[in-house]
Amino acid sequence: MSTIAVTGAASGIGAAVCQHLEAAGHTLIRVDLRNADVNADLSSAKGRKAAVEQTLAACDNRLDAVVACAGVGVTAPSVGLIIGVNYFGVTEYLEGLETALANSGNGKAVIIGSVAGSHMVAQPHPMTAAMLEGDEARSRQIAEELGDPAAAYAASKYAVTVFGRRKSVAWGKQGMRLNVIAPGAVETPLHQASKEDARFGEAVKNFVAPMGRAGVPDEIADGVDFLLSDQSAFVNGSVLFIDGGMDAMVRAHTF
């Protein structure tokens, strides 16, 4: 059985991922702001460092997998926070654990991106370039100046997907695998808050997948189970859309 770190473990998709993995007999290191094994704030460099150190201590420098679920949506208190958690909270945490993942012999990671990230594929925003250069201050500054939470969210998810795909190339050569899941709307507290938001509620409610419903956290956790299993042994650098057909509806010609 494996030792697996899950961020955003206290709610929504992360909580469902933990339920699945625990039921399968794996040992979990739950990471979240509170109510977790590792209580840390992934929005700041200091919090990420603490999260990495505590995770390494908990797994004794040998980790089988990471599932990066922690994220904030368009109702986050600031647009800078969206960049800090959704991009740097994933990339710095994962990079801090790379050696421990390599120590397991075939480390794996799954990043929870979003179908929203594909909105940026045709025309990436300058804030994505700053994120991909690792310049947190600059990307936060651009995001704050623009003041558009939906753009910051899409940019953070696009950038974290590009990060994951780039990283998977290096990891593949070491027998490690990294994949991204791009969920569509999933019934979680984050999605509920978006539906209730005065600015974005109508658009979120009207953005309905061809299957006519939102997903449930278990359906994303099923995808994580697959991507961490031997059934996906040759799957690396993929973006798995679990979105009821939303991405196919919006951009059938781009994949």
Report how far residue 53's alpha carbon sits from residue 51's, in angstroms, rounded to the nearest whole number: 6
Taking the mean position of all CA atoms in its chain, how far away is CA 129? 18
Nearer of residues 57 and 233 to ligand NAI, judged by Cβ: 57
Cβ proximity to ligand NAI, 62 vs 165, nearer residue = 165
* 14 near ligand NAI (CB under 6 A): yes
Q: Which residue's CB is nearer to ligand NAI, number 54 or number 114? A: 114
Binding pattern for the stretch 92-121 against ligand NAI, x by CB under 6 A and - elsewhere: --------------------x-x-------
Q: Which residue has the tokens 């390494």?
A: 56
Q: How far is CA 88 from the centre of its chain?
A: 11
* Spatial contact of 99 and 60, defined as CB atoms under 8 Å apart: no
Rg of the chain over CA atoms, in angstroms? 17
Structure tokens given for 190? 């984050």
Question: Using CA atoms in the order 135, 141, 147, 150, what is the torsion angle rounded to 10 degrees?
Answer: 10
Pick the stretch among 17-25, 71-79, 131-139, 228-236 that binds ligand NAI (CB under 6 A). 71-79
Residue 153 falls in the annotated catalytic set: yes
Q: What's the one-letter identity of residue 47?
A: G
For ligand NAI, how many residues bind (rule: CB under 6 A)?
A: 27
Are 221 and 19 contacting, i.e. CB atoms less than 8 angstroms apart?
Answer: yes
Closest approach of Cβ 245 to ligand NAI, in Å?
A: 14
* Binding track over 37-66 against ligand NAI, x by CB under 6 A: ----xxx-----------------------
Residues lying near ligand NAI in the complex (CB under 6 A): 8, 10-14, 32-33, 41-43, 69-73, 85, 89, 112, 114, 183, 185-186, 188-191
